[in-house]
Amino acid sequence: MKQHFVTFLSPGTFVCEETAKPIKDWDIKKAIKMSKSITERYNAKPFAFQFSTRERSAKELDSKVIKTSGFYYLGGKVLTLDEVKQQMPQEKILISNMECNKWNKVIINTNSWKVTQPLMKDDVVLEME
């Protein structure tokens, strides 16, 4: 038995709020449409989503994740470490985190609340209207 899911990420107090929903297949346009109906605490709206596929055999009680996508960011501004240092020199913790974790880029999204996340090689920034 196999099922696909899309997990939406929204800004949270300490960690991201997550809402997972079943989806027929890894359809980006459908996930974008679904994201518009998600509202978390403090009216936070999704800034990204990730697809996953779960599977289990007839003998297994719980399923396990067998495949995940990168994150799909619902718009945002991408900055390199050098750009963060130039444009946001007061952000010492962000700069330190980028250097220590070897993050080359971050994405800053303001769909609802400002969120800054590392941008990894499999992640995609979608053009939003």
Answer yes or no: is pLDDT of 129 > 80.
no
* Same domain as 7, residue 39: yes
Answer yes or no: is pLDDT of 73 > 80.
yes
* Same domain as 112, residue 88: yes
Domain boundaries, position 94: 77-123
32-45 average pLDDT score:
95
Q: What is this structure's pTM?
A: 0.92
The pLDDT, as a whole number, for residue 60 is 84
Using CA atoms, how far apart are residues 65 and 53, in angstroms rounded to an integer?
6
Q: How confident is the model at residue 58 (pLDDT cuts 50, 70, 90)?
A: confident
Alpha helices in 5-121 (DSSP H): 28-35, 81-87, 92-101
Q: Does residue 59 sit within a domain? A: yes
* Same domain as 44, residue 24: yes
Number of domains in the chain: 2
The pLDDT, as a whole number, for residue 59 is 87
* Same domain as 57, residue 96: no
